[in-house]
C-alpha cells in the first residue's frame, strides 16, 4: 500500500536491493536517480551444503549492466567479506570509483592487488563527517561500531530527501579500536529530516542491548592466564577489536604471539600499518621462532574459527600443521559465533582438538564472544534518534526483517511507510509518496571451487541429483539400418543390492522394445533415439517408485564387417 511519505517531486528515486534481504550475505543496494546510480556495498555469500562444489556466491549484476551508463560509484560501509567480497568481480566489469574509510580501503586494496586491478580502480578515502559527492548525490559517512574498526553508515542527500543506510552496526561507545558510534550525528540527522532509513536487522529478534566488545576482555584474560600450556586464539580474521584484546592480554602476561593463516597475517598487518592496531616491539614473532619460546608463553592467533577445511586451525586439529601441535594442557579459544551452515565443520574441528588433548572454549561455555550487531533495544534507540519518514529493514533472513519492521512501527514510523522488501524489489519515491512499484528475479552467480570460474545453477542442480540418486548410462549400438544389435545399462550411485541386476535387466528389455518400435526414419536419428531412451527409463523408474537418477543415453553406430 503506498504511504504518504512527504517528498518533493524532482524525478523518481529508486532503491533496489540486489542482495542481503531474506538472506545473510550478498549485501548490495542500489540507489538511482536521474543520471546517477550509486551502489552501497558489494558482498559475497558463503555456500550452504546444497551448493555442491561451489566456493562462493556472488550477487546478480544484470541490473548494473542495464544501467551501466549512469553507474557512478560504490560506497562501502565496512570491510567484511559479505560487504566487500564481490568487489573484484564487479570492478572487472565496471571500472567505477570506490569510496570508503581508511581501514576498509586498506583491506580492499589487498584484494585489488591480488586480482591485478589496483592500477585500474580509483579508491577515494573518506573520513567520517567528511562531505563528498557521487554523481548528483551528496554523501557523508557517519561513524558506527561493529566487530571491526572503521564501520560507517552512508548518508545520501538526494533530490527526494536524505537516505541513511546504516551498514552492519551495534551501539558501542568505547570500542577497543577506532572511534565510537556517533549517536550525536544520528540525532542531528533526525532533526534535519530523513526520508528513509535502511538498517541492519541481524539481531532484531534478540531482546535487550548488545554488549560492548570490551566486555569479553576479562574472560579472555582469565582463560589465557590459567592456561598451563600454549594457547590458540581463533576469531574472524577481520575482527580488529578481538585481535587487539588478545594482543593486549598477551603483552600483559608475557606471552609471545604468532599470527597464523594468510588472511590473519594480512588483515592484522594492514590494520597495524594504518594505525588501527598496535603491539609492543617483540610481541609478535615469526612462527618458526617459537621453538625457543616456552610452551606456556605461547599464544597463536589463528584463522579457521568457522572450521574451514584448509585453515590453520583445521590443520592443527588434523595434526598436520607444520609448526603447531596439540598436547594435553593446551587451550583453544574460539571467539566467534558459528555462521549457519558451518556447525558441522566447526564441531568436527572441536572434536579433533579434544581428541588431541586440547581444552576448547566456545561461546556458551565461556563469555569470549559478543555480537557485532545491534539487538532490539539498540535498534529502537537508533530509530528514535533518526526518526525516518520511511523504513526498510535489511541484512537478515525473513524473520529478522519481520521483527525489525515491527520495531520500526513501534518506534513511531508510519506502518504504511515500513517496507518489507526483497531482492529485486523496486522501491520508488515519487510525487509525495513511496511504494514498491516493480520486481524482477535476482539470481546468484556461483563460483566453482575447482577453478572453473562461474557455473550455472543447472550444473549445481545436476550435482545434487547425482549425489541424491546417482547416474544411469544406457548404451545402445545401432546397425546401418537403425536396428539395435547390442545394448547395456550401467549405473553408479543408483542401486547396489541384490535386486539391482533384475531391475537393470528389466530396464534393458524395455529400452530395446521401445527402440524396436521406432520407424526406420526415426531410428536413423541419434537424437530421437536418445530422447526416447531417456523418456522410457524415466517412466519405468517412476512406475517402480524409484528415485530419479541422471540418465545419460549413449547411442553409437556399430561398425559392420
Helix (H, G, I), strand (E, B) or coil at 98: strand
**82-133 confidence digits (pLDDT tens):** 999 999 999 999 999 999 999 999 999 999 999 999 999 999 999 999 999 9
Rounded to whole angstroms, the Cα distance separating 152 from 308 reads 29
Rounded to whole angstroms, the Cα distance separating 443 from 458 reads 12
Question: Grid coordinates standing for 257?
Answer: 604471539
204: Cα separation from own chain's centroid: 19
Q: Evaluate if residue 395 carries a pLDDT over 50.
A: yes
Question: Grid coordinates standing for 97?
Answer: 570509483
pLDDT of 486? 55
pLDDT of 282? 95
Using a pLDDT cut of 90, give the percent of the chain over it: 70
Rounded to whole angstroms, the Cα distance separating 111 from 88 reads 7
Question: Grid coordinates standing for 478?
Answer: 545401432
| CB half-sphere exposure, 540, CA atoms < 13 A | 20
On whether the CB atoms of residues 36 and 70 are closer than 8 A, the answer is: yes
Least confident segment among 52-56, 404-408, 434-438, 537-541: 52-56
pLDDT of 1? 36
Which own/partner contact pairs does 107-113 have at CB distance under 8 Å and 24+ positions apart? 107/79, 107/238, 107/267, 107/270, 108/76, 108/79, 108/84, 110/266, 110/270, 111/84, 111/87, 112/87, 112/88
Which sequence spans correspond to the domains of the chain? 13-209+372-448, 213-361, 470-557
What are the b/e assignments for 55-87, b being 16+ CB within 10 Å?
ebbbbbbebbeeeeeebbbbbbbbbbbbbbbbb
* Greater pLDDT, 32 or 469: 32
Using a pLDDT cut of 70, give the percent of the chain over it: 88
**408-438 confidence digits (pLDDT tens):** 999 999 999 999 999 999 999 998 899 999 9
pLDDT of 467? 64
**In CATH, 13-209+372-448 is 3.40.710.10:** no
Angle at 119 between CA 116 and CA 123, to 5 degrees: 110
Partners of 472 in the β-ladder: 491, 551
Helix (H) or strand (E) run with residue 184 in it:
helix 183-192
**In CATH, 213-361 is 3.40.50.10710:** yes
Nearest to 31 by CA among 77, 63, 79: 63
Rounded to whole angstroms, the Cα distance separating 482 from 501 reads 27
Fold of 470-557: Ubiquitin-like (UB roll) (3.10.20)
Amino acid at each position: 500500500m503506498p504511504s504518504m511519505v512527504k517528498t518533493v517531486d524532482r524525478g523518481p528515486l529508486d532503491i533496489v536491493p540486489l542482495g542481503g534481504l531474506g538472506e545473510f550475505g550478498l549485501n548490495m543496494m542500489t540507489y538511482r536517480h536521474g543520471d546517477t546510480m550509486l551502489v552501497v556495498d558489494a558482498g559475497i555469500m558463503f555456500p550452504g551444503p546444497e551448493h555442491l562444489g561451489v566456493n562462493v556466491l556472488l550477487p546478480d549484476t544484470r541490473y548494473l549492466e542495464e544501467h551501466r551508463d549512469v553507474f557512478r560509484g560504490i560506497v562501502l560501509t565496512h570491510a567484511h567479506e559479505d560487504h566487500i567480497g564481490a568487489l573484484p568481480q564487479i570492478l572487472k566489469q565496471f571500472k567505477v570509483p570506490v569510496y570508503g574509510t581508511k581501514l576498509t580501503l586498506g583491506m580492499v586494496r589487498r584484494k585489488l592487488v591480488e586480482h591485478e586491478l589496483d592500477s585500474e580502480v580509483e579508491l577515494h578515502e573518506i573520513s567520517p563527517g567528511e562531505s563528498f559527492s557521487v554523481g548528483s548525490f551528496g554523501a557523508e559517512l557517519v561513524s558506527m561500531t561493529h566487530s571491526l574498526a572503521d564501520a560507517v553508515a552512508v548518508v545520501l542527500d538526494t533530490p527526494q530527501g536524505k537516505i541513511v543506510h546504516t551498514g552492519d552496526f551495534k551501539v558501542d561507545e568505547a570500542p577497543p579500536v577506532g572511534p565510537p558510534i556517533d549517536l550525536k550525528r544520528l540525532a542531528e540527522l533526525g532533526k534535519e529530516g530523513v526520508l528513509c532509513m535502511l538498517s541492519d536487522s541481524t539481531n532484531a529478534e534478540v531482546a535487550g542491548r548488545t554488549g560492548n566488545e570490551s566486555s569479553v576482555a576479562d574472560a579472555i584474560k582469565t582463560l589465557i592466564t590459567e592456561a598451563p600450556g600454549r594457547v590458540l586464539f581463533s576469531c574472524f580474521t577481520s575482527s580488529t577489536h578481538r585481535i587487539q584484546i588478545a594482543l593486549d592480554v598477551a603483552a600483559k602476561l608475557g606471552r609471545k604471539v604468532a599470527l597464523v593463516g594468510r588472511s590473519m597475517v594480512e588483515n592484522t598487518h594492514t590494520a597495524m600499518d594504518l594505525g588501527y592496531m598496535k603491539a609492543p616491539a617483540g610481541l609478535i614473532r615469526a612462527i618458526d621462532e617459537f621453538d625457543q619460546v616456552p610452551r606456556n608463553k605461547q599464544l597463536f592467533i589463528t584463522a579457521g574459527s568457522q572450521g574451514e577445511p584448509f585453515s590453520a586451525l583445521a590443520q592443527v586439529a588434523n595434526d598436520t600443521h607444520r609448526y603447531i601441535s596439540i598436547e594435553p594442557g593446551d587451550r583453544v579459544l574460539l571467539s566467534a559465533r558459528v555462521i549457519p551452515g558451518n556447525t558441522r565443520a566447526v564441531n568436527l574441528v572441536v572434536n579433533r582438538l579434544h581428541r588431541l588433548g586440547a581444552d576448547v572454549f566456545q561461546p556458551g561455555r565461556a563469555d569470549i564472544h559478543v555480537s557485532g550487531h545491534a539487538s532490539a533495544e539498540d535498534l529502537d534507540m537508533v530509530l528514535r534518534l533518526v526518526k525516518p519518514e520511511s523504513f526498510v529493514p535489511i541484512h537478515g533472513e525473513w524473520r529478522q526483517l519481520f521483527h525489525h519492521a515491527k520495531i520500526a512501527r513501534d518506534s513511531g514510523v508510519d506502518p504504511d511507510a515500513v517496507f518489507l522488501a526483497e531482492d529485486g524489489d523496486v522501491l520508488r519515491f515519487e510525487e509525495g509518496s513511496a511504494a514498491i512499484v516493480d520486481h524482477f528475479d535476482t539470481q546468484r552467480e556461483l563460483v566453482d571451487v575447482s577453478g572453473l570460474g562461474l557455473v550455472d545453477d543447472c550444473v549445481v542442480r545436476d550435482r545434487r541429483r547425482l549425489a541424491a540418486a546417482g547416474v544411469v548410462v544406457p548404451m545402445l549400438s545401432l546397425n546401418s539400418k537403425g536396428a539395435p544389435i547390442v545394448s547395456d545399462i550401467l549405473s553408479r550411485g543408483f542401486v547396489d543390492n541384490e535386486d539391482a541386476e533384475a531391475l537393470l535387466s528389466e530396464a534393458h528389455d524395455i529400452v530395446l522394445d521401445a527402440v524396436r518400435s521406432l520407424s526406420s526414419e526415426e531410428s536413423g536419428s541419434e537424437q530421437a533415439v536418445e530422447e526416447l531412451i531417456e523418456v522410457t527409463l524415466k517412466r519405468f523408474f517412476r512406475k517402480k517408485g524409484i528415485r530419479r537418477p541422471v540418465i545419460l543415453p549413449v547411442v553409437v553406430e556399430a561398425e559392420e564387417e
